[in-house]
């Protein structure tokens, strides 16, 4: 049984728009869009003000462990991705995997090199919890 994941209405709308634009641009065959669409469809949608503070949303910063290696990452839209600053795109396998999960969750996810285990250790910043609902 998989864990319930959460997404804000705002994030859902922006991500669906991203997927629609991909279809219009002929990129819908890219696996990352299919995985993202699947995650959005299984997520429970909540108002950003009612979302638990320990859930990873768009523009959240989190401490995660990938196969035992800790990393501090920020989940961003593709145009804001920057590996040097550890800003990972929602379209990357890790980005899609962590969206909507909470502190303490462990996720088994397929990446180009095979299956990986991702553990959400701590949500360091969540825009909704900080009152930054415009992000």
- Give the torsion through C-alpha atoms of 121, 38, 33, 24, to 10 deg: -140
Q: What pTM was computed for the model?
A: 0.89
Q: What is the mean pLDDT of the chain?
A: 89
Specify the CATH class of 6-125 in words: alpha beta
- 23-63: per-residue pLDDT in tens? 777 655 567 777 888 889 999 999 888 899 999 999 999 99
86 DSSP assignment: T
At residue 41, the pLDDT reads 92
Question: How many Cβ atoms sit within 10 Å of the Cβ of residue 41?
Answer: 9
Confidence of residue 134 (pLDDT cuts 50, 70, 90): low
- CA atoms of 8 and 44, how far apart (whole Å): 8
The yes-or-no verdict on residue 124 having pLDDT over 50 is yes
For the chain, what are the domain ranges?
A: 6-125
Phi-psi label, residue 61: left if phi above 0, alpha if psi -120 to 50, beta otherwise: beta
- 71-80: per-residue pLDDT in tens? 999 999 999 9
């Amino acid at each position: 049984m998989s864990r319930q994941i959460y997404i804000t209405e705002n994030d859902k709308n922006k991500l669906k728009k991203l997927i629609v634009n991909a279809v219009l641009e002929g990129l819908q065959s890219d696996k990352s869009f299919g995985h993202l669409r699947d995650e959005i469809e299984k997520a429970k949608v909540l108002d950003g003000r009612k979302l638990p503070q320990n859930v990873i949303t768009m523009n959240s910063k989190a401490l995660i462990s990938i196969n035992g290696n800790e990393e501090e990452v920020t989940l961003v839209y593709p145009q804001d991705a920057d590996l040097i600053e550890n800003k990972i795109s929602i379209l990357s396998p890790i980005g899609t995997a962590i969206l909507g999960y909470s502190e303490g969750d462990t996720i088994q996810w397929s990446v180009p090199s095979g299956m990986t285990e991702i553990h959400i250790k701590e949500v360091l910043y969540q825009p909704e919890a900080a009152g930054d609902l415009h992000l």
